[in-house]
Amino acid sequence: MQKLGGAAAIIATAASGASMSPLIAGLTPRGRMMVVGAAPDPISVQTTELIFGTRTLSGSLTGSSIDNEDNLRFSLARGIHPMTEVLPMADAAKAYEHMLSGQARFRVVLDMTA
């Protein structure tokens, strides 16, 4: 992210603190990372990344159904798409193992039409 100029905002949905920790350094000055994915392990933060970059790390519940509808409408209007790993429903057991292994890079989604 730093090579691309940094991210002004990151919405972290990962269920792993270890996978979210390196993202903070990829924020632009005054960038903000919002954590909405509950992780069993902690997020590690270098205080210098927050202080000298004036970056913000915060967390939030995902909101109400109305909030979710507003977010989806905003994403659609701006052409924002999630990064997912799509597998056919027939591979549900494989997808579940992949997710539990920690090797999933994005959200694992089952395609019920495939």
pLDDT at 74: 95
Q: Compute φ and ψ for 19, nearest 5 degrees.
A: -80, -20
pLDDT at 4: 64
- Which is nearest to 13 in space by CA: 23, 3, 26? 23
Cα 71 from Cα 76, distance rounded (Å)? 9
- Consecutive 10-residue averages of pLDDT for the chain (114 residues): 80 85 90 86 89 90 81 94 91 90 87 86
pTM over 0.75: no
CA 78-84-87 angle, to 5 degrees, is 140
- Domains annotated for the chain, with CATH where assigned, are 1-81 (3.40.50.720), 82-114 (no CATH)
Instruction: Tell me which amino acid residue 101 is.
Output: S
Give the tens place of pLDDT for each residue, 49-62.
Answer: 889 889 999 988 77
Contacts of 24 (CB under 8 A, 6+ apart): 33, 45, 46, 49, 50, 55, 57
- Which is nearest to 24 in space by CA: 54, 52, 42, 45? 45
